[in-house]
Structure 1
Amino acid sequence: MLPLALYALWMAAPPQPISVTPLEGATHHVQGIVVDGTSLWVTSVDRLAKKGYLYEFELATGKRLRWVEVQQGSMFHPGGFDMDEDSLWIPVAEYKKDGHTVIQRRSKATLAVLSSFTVDDHIGCLTLMEGHLAGGNWDARKFYEWTFDGRFVSVRNNPNASHYQEIKYRYGALMASGGVVHWLDPEELEPLRTYTLGKTDRNVPYTNEGMDFRDGKLYLLPEDGPSRLFVFDPEQVYEPAKP
């Protein structure tokens, strides 16, 4: 535990990213990200055009490689998403709090829809857990679980005040981003660890939208286009216990 003076100093000096990469082209209103080897996948929405997008960027340079529209009827709002070895799992919802959602499984190779199922709620974030899918509704006030073929498993209330925009199951914990980044116990949804960050030089909170954790690095995409990918050392953003 830090002495009070050192804790105050830590709080007064927000951690800085170890790298910042601008992304090529328009990204509209950013929703979620997935880091996949040398690629960065991004979902975004254009509310006026009623279109949702999936992009693939080169992780190291921010060069845009591919993109595809993901809207389906009245559902055009993609959310936070996740992947397995061959597929991307993307929730695409109606742009309203209690709207419907289609969960799309898209091929990484072709970007085509391989399968899908619908949910009678607005699912804004989704991740793959051990043997099933998990997702949060608008502001993640509820957490759902489904089988991979779309059968409902369970729903429970979010016990935390944070309104999560992105969730990821990584290294046995459920990471959830919204204001702060929480490592949650996947069974109880209680915070095990907290990452606290500041704002970009555009006055946007780093934890505003897209988040992933890969290979010991925290990746954040908070800004709408022109978007920038911020990478942090998690040990620098871990909030120590208050004296």
Structure 2
Amino acid sequence: MRVITTILSAALLIGTVSTVVATDSDTEGLTNEFKQLERSTEWNQVEELDLNFNVHHPQGMTKIEDKYYISSVEIIEKPKKYNQPKDGYDRTAGKGVGHLFVVDEQGQLLKDIELGEGDMYHPGGIDFDGEHIWVPVAEYRPHSQSIMYKVDPESNEVNEVFEVDDHIGGVVSDEEKSRLYGVSWGSRTYYEWNHKGKVKSVEKNPSHFIDYQDCEGIDENNMICSGLAGLPSEDGGTYELGGLALLDKKSHEIQHEVPLAEFSPQHHVITRNPVYLETKEEEDGIRLYAVPDDDDASLLIYETK
């Protein structure tokens, strides 16, 4: 199983925290397994966990022991495109509610934590750094505004940390280095901040293979991002090309990337929405968790051979 510097133990249920120090083999395991993935790698679905609540439009996911944390946007009024840009925006703000769902291994909703403020109601991809779950909540339009939150998974306490003058669609935290790494709308821009929100770097993303939807820090230097690209198909519709990428947190250099073409019950590529990866417990390979569908959805679990 993927191990990070500190994790919540099963004793979370009674309000205690256990600290586990990862070995070199632990931290390198998922990185090494990921580098073995190829276009021909077989992803076998091993479980379909029905979620017993309206998951709305899920965005990010992390797993802490036996609980899943899923960020999602509940859209009350969809943003509408302007004929001409207004005040630097290409669409209205719309209306909605941001959620961070806490879910058990049976798909039962344990807690619904509402996040956001005003027009900022769209949570993005999330990350757990061993201490906090970091969640960006943005306006549902590009080049807008975001609030960066951190959530204590033991108490469910929510703290607003800083604001960003852009739509942040995903974030990865490095607790040891006090750094946050974020991606903008469509992951077209990379950001780096310290944990107080001071900008350390801003860079354009040179890769146009896929737009990253959700990212997770997996070891000291690397993160894995998942996402998709919508491509026109011959029938006039859109084909969803899914993919996974291993990136250096600091340089954003792609270490390894693969396409992914498994599809959900609602016919979406499984990397469309949130994705979480870990190594298999007793054998080589990777386990992938995904919630690609909206509203009445399931958590799909795949494994490589």
Give the TM-score of the pair, scaled to structure 1. 0.85
Measured in 2, the distance between the counterparts of 1:67 and 1:39 equals 13
Q: CA offset at residue 54 of structure 1?
A: 0.8
Q: CA offset at residue 29 of structure 1?
A: 0.8
Residue 53 of structure 1 pairs with residue 99 of structure 2: yes
Cα-Cα RMSD: 2.0
Measured in 1, the distance between the counterparts of 2:117 and 2:154 equals 20
Q: CA offset at residue 195 of structure 1?
A: 5.1
1:19-58 alignment runs, 5 A limit: 19-48=47-76, 50-58=96-104
Of residues 172-181 and 96-105 in structure 1, the stretch that sits farther from structure 2 once superposed is 172-181
Alignment length, in residue pairs?
225
Q: 1:30 to 1:62 in 2, by over 3 A?
A: same
What amino acid is the match of 1:184? L
Q: Larger C-alpha radius of gyration, 1 or 2?
A: 2
What amino acid is the match of 2:214? E
Measured in 1, the distance between the counterparts of 2:169 and 2:269 equals 19
Equivalent pair of 1:170/1:213 in contact (CA under 8 Å): no
1:94-243 alignment runs, 5 A limit: 94-129=139-174, 131=177, 132-161=179-208, 162-171=210-219, 172-178=221-227, 179-186=242-249, 187-194=251-258, 196-216=260-280, 217-233=287-303, 235-236=304-305
Q: CA offset at residue 158 of structure 1?
A: 1.2
Matched residue SS, 2:211 = coil
User: Partner of 1:3 in structure 2?
Assistant: none
Measured in 2, the distance between the counterparts of 1:190 and 1:215 equals 20
Of residues 95-104 and 174-183 in structure 1, the stretch that sits farther from structure 2 once superposed is 174-183
User: Partner of 1:90 in structure 2?
Assistant: 135
Q: CA offset at residue 114 of structure 1?
A: 2.7
Measured in 2, the distance between the counterparts of 1:159 and 1:174 equals 17
Report % sequence identity: 27
Measured in 2, the distance between the counterparts of 1:197 and 1:93 equals 29
Gaps of 5+ in 2: 1-37, 77-94, 228-241, 281-286
